[in-house]
């Protein structure tokens, strides 16, 4: 019997009992949908993390540390106890300006600069005070992704390396109720985070004719408060920078001053004339591995986001397996449903099987017909289950985005994501499970004696 004939008989037999076939397909579909939703959650969270890292251009950045970076805590403690200078001597080469020049000559390097990221800085803007982050960047590190993310204004140039200017994140503007056009040209005051407690809060009366407007407060800076004032020359879209989307970006020189102003410049144990860490920005993701190898050969420690992504990949692989096991419970239930359906089909079609054999059908032809029926149930039910699971995931994505709409600025976040390989894997698994469930009924049908079968009513 040809494969085309086997398939035709299989689908004709399934169509003969529409209700039973539909119920079996529903059982398989629910099992596959559960598996799809569970695994897509892990894939969505992993994809979200990788997307945030990609947006911040972290995949092309290499952090360079002294050889004894693992002992930095000990160095800090010794520095706090004011021990002798020799006690703090690093085991490897120091991170100095000469190091920046040396690493900047390596092939594939776009820029090398000190890590001057300050995570806790007090900010005063338009009578409001809040906590923010700052980051110092040389003009060479400002790539196309930076300029593409601009909502208004511009970035600084090489000639403005010493200028007191910043580019502000859009998330801060949303909190202040400002538009990008209003922000460009404004003055922002930076100070230590603990200095914000010295500001005086002055309530503002609602404007005339607006008595129902809630009372607002304005914060007044105390006289003599130390800090730095800078002009906003641009505003960037925070969502384009992912994890780094709340940082005030400043020229490298101003970034160093802001780091010092925050009081965090000495963290890391670096001495005068040294840097606690350097950032090496590669031209492409493929340049990261060879650059790290060369930098480590020169006696430095390196860290790249690739290290973190490898751990994330391993962790989420385990999570996917665990979620898959929970989701696979529905497929186990559908296994018995398919087996029951196929056994019933064998019992109902005993005489038909006898006729087939009397006309010359071989045992393997009969087995193929029943295995094809079971596989058809698996493929169809799997496809329907993937579609249903994808729909459920999209609904949950929209529900979660609606619940967190203020924090997400009305953006859709895909916590449930169904990649192509997951859809194919779910259909493949359901097909294998269905075919396995049909093995015994197919074997039983093939072993029927045609003479006995023809006598059955």
Q: Is 90 or 275 the better-scoring residue by pLDDT? A: 275
Q: Give tens-digit pLDDT for 202-226.
A: 887 665 555 555 556 789 999 889 8
DSSP labels, 393-408: HHHHHHHHHHHTHHHH
- Are 390 and 36 contacting, i.e. CB atoms less than 8 angstroms apart? yes
| pLDDT(233) > 90 | yes
Tokens of 116: 């001057």
| pLDDT(149) > 50 | yes
Buried-exposed string 227-250: b where 16+ CB fall within 10 A, e elsewhere: bbebebbbbbebbbbbebbbbbbb
Binned at pLDDT 50, 70 and 90, residue 260 comes out as confident
Q: Give tens-digit pLDDT for 91-108.
A: 568 888 899 998 988 988
Q: What percent of the chain stands above pLDDT 70?
A: 79
Buried-exposed string 385-394: b where 16+ CB fall within 10 A, e elsewhere: bbbbbbebbb
- Mean pLDDT of the residues in the chain: 81
| pLDDT(403) > 90 | no
Q: Which among 340, 363, 119 is positioned nearest to 247, based on CA atoms?
A: 119
User: Burial, 292: exposed, middle or buried (Cβ in 10 Å; 0-12, 13-18, 19+)?
Assistant: buried
Tallying the residues shown for the chain, one arrives at 457
**Segment of 75-79, 81-85, 406-410 carrying the highest mean pLDDT:** 406-410
In this prediction, residue 323 carries a pLDDT of 78
Q: Give tens-digit pLDDT for 81-94.
A: 444 444 444 456 88
Q: Which among 339, 337, 319 is positioned nearest to 327, based on CA atoms?
A: 319
- Rounded to whole angstroms, what are the CA distances from 321 to 38, 42, 100, 327, 424? 10, 10, 44, 10, 16
pTM of the model: 0.62
- 400-418: average pLDDT: 74
Lowest mean per-residue pLDDT among 55-59, 110-114, 319-323, 442-446: 55-59
In this prediction, residue 408 carries a pLDDT of 59
How far is 143 from 133, CA to CA, in rounded Å?
A: 20
């Amino acid at each position: 019997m040809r494969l085309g004939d086997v398939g035709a008989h299989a689908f004709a037999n399934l169509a003969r009992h529409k209700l039973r076939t539909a119920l079996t397909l529903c059982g398989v579909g629910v099992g596959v949908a559960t598996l799809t939703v569970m695994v897509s959650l892990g894939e969505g969270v992993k994809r979200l993390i990788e997307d945030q890292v990609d947006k911040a251009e972290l995949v092309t950045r290499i952090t360079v540390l002294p050889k004894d970076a693992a002992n930095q805590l000990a160095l800090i403690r010794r520095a706090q106890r004011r021990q002798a200078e020799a006690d703090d001597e690093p085991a490897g080469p120091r991170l100095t300006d000469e190091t920046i020049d040396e690493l900047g000559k390596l092939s594939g390097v776009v820029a090398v600069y000190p890590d001057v990221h300050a995570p806790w800085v007090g900010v005063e803007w338009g009578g409001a005070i809040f906590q923010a982050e700052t980051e110092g960047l040389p003009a060479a590190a400002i790539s196309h992704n930076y300029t593409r993310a601009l909502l208004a204004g511009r970035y600084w140039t090489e000639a403005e390396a010493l200028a007191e200017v910043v580019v502000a994140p859009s998330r801060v503007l949303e909190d202040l109720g400002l538009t990008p056009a209003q922000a460009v040209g404004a003055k922002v005051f930076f100070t230590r985070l603990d200095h914000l407690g010295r500001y005086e809060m002055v309530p503002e009366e609602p404007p005339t004719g607006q008595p129902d407007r809630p009372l607002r407060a304005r914060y007044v800076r105390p006289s003599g408060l130390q800090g730095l004032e800078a002009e906003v020359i641009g505003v960037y879209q925070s969502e384009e920078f992912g994890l780094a989307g709340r940082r005030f970006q400043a020229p490298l020189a101003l970034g160093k001053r802001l780091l010092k102003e925050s009081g965090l410049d000495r963290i890391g144990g670096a001495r005068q004339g040294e840097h606690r860490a350097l950032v090496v920005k590669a031209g492409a993701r493929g340049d990261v591995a060879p650059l790290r190898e060369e930098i480590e050969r020169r006696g430095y420690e390196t860290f790249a986001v690739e290290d973190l992504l490898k751990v994330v990949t391993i962790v989420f692989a385990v999570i996917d397996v665990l979620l898959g096991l929970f989701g696979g419970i529905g497929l186990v239930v559908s296994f018995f449903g398919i087996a029951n359906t196929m056994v019933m089909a064998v019992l109902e079609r005993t005489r038909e099987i006898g006729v087939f054999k009397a006309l010359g059908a071989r045992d393997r032809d009969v087995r193929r017909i029943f295995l094809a029926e079971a596989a058809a149930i698996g493929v169809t039910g799997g496809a329907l289950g993937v579609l249903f699971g994808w729909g459920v995931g999209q609904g949950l994505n929209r529900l979660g985005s609606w619940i967190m709409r203020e924090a997400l600025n009305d953006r859709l976040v895909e916590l449930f994501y169904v990649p192509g390989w997951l859809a194919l894997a779910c259909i493949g698994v359901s097909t294998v499970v269905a075919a396995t469930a049909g093995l015994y009924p197919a074997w039983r049908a093939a072993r029927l004696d045609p003479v006995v079968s023809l006598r059955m009513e």
